[in-house]
Structure 1
């Protein structure tokens, strides 16, 4: 348990920051699911549009260091490959 005023404040801030980061991670997962659903739908035009909006979401979350930049790149790469395979 935090004993000093400084430690109590840091504990409060940690709770608030954790809630914010959890929300951002949830947004990331939702964006990835949206891409997958659009690709499974089979319509390339819709999938491309969803891909573009989701990529900006993934980049924004990676820029805030909520996920590692390499993890963001891996997700984007896999989704781009699935989108490309949709055309073939």
Structure 2
């Protein structure tokens, strides 16, 4: 356990930051799940609308340090590709 004041403060900050990041990750997963569900229905328009709603949320996770930039880009790219295949 932390003994000096600075270490105690850092421990408090870590707990607070962990809760915030957990909430952000959960929110991102929710948006991505909605896209997955829309793809599962087979409706391209609904899936595209869900992806357009999810994309800013995923990229916000990048700027907040929850996701790596390449990870977010890869997820968006793969979802976009799957949506594109729905019309074929």
Q: What TM-score does the superposition give when structure 2 sets the normalisation length?
A: 0.95
Query: Match for residue 28 of structure 1?
Result: 28
Query: Match for residue 64 of structure 2?
Result: 64
Instruction: State which drifts further: 72-81 or 22-31.
Output: 22-31
Q: Give the unaligned 5+ runs of structure 1.
A: none
* Pairwise CA distance, 1:63: 1.4
Query: Match for residue 8 of structure 2?
Result: 8
Count of residue pairs brought into register by the alignment: 88
* Pairwise CA distance, 1:29: 1.2
3-state SS in 2 of match to 1:80: helix
Segments of 4+ moved more than 4 angstroms: none
Q: Give the unaligned 5+ runs of structure 2.
A: none
